[in-house]
Amino acid sequence: MEKKLCFGVEPNMREVPTGQSAEFKLGKVSEWKLVETEWGNKYEFPIVLLSHPSYESISKKGIPMRWQSKSVAAERLYHWMYTDEHTMKVFDTDMSKELNSIWTLTRHEAGGYAIEA
C-alpha cells in the first residue's frame, strides 16, 4: 500500500483530571519509545483513546493518538516490555492478551497515576 503525504503530528492525549480515569488500547509495542520534550524526557505510547473526561464525544472506534508521560505508571509500563537499554524483552508466554486489553489510566487525588488492564 502506498503512503500518502502527511504533515503535522499525531495529537497527544490530554492530561487526565485528578480523581478521574481514561480508557485506551495500546498501539504497536515496537513504536513505544522514550522522547525528549520541552518538559524533559517522557515515555511515549501510541494508543487508541476510548474514553476520557476531557473529550466530549469519542466514537466507538476511538481516537488514534499518543500518550506521553513521565509518570511512574508510564515508566513501569515501558519497562514491563523494554530493558534499561531500550531493547524489547523476550517473554515465555504470549503477551497479546494483555497488550490487546483495554487499559484504564486513573489519576489519584494526590496526582499520581495508576494503569491497569
pLDDT tens digits along 33-84: 999 999 899 999 999 999 999 998 899 999 999 999 999 999 999 999 998 8
Domain that holds residue 47: 21-116
The answer to whether the beta carbons of residues 21 and 77 sit under 8 Å apart is no
* Pairing of β 102-107 and β 21-26: antiparallel
What is the predicted pLDDT for the residue at 60? 92
Confidence at 8, pLDDT banded by 50, 70, 90: confident
Residue corresponding to grid cell 499520581: 112
pLDDT the model gives residue 84: 87
Q: Is residue 62 included in any domain, yes or no?
A: yes
Task: Please indicate, yes or no, if residue 10 is contained in any of the structural domains.
Answer: no
In a domain, 41, yes or no: yes
Sign of CA dihedral 77, 75, 56, 62: negative
Higher pLDDT, 99 or 24: 24
Q: Residue 2 domain-assigned?
A: no
Q: Residue 1: what pLDDT?
A: 55
Residue 97 lies in a domain: yes
The answer to whether residue 14 sits within a structural domain is no
As a whole number of angstroms, the distance between CA 47 and CA 49 comes to 6
pLDDT at 10: 77
Q: Which of 106, 50, 52, 44 is nearest to 78 (CA)?
A: 44
In a domain, 95, yes or no: yes
Number of domains in the chain: 1
- Residue 5 or residue 40, greater confidence: 40
Is 8 inside a domain boundary?
no
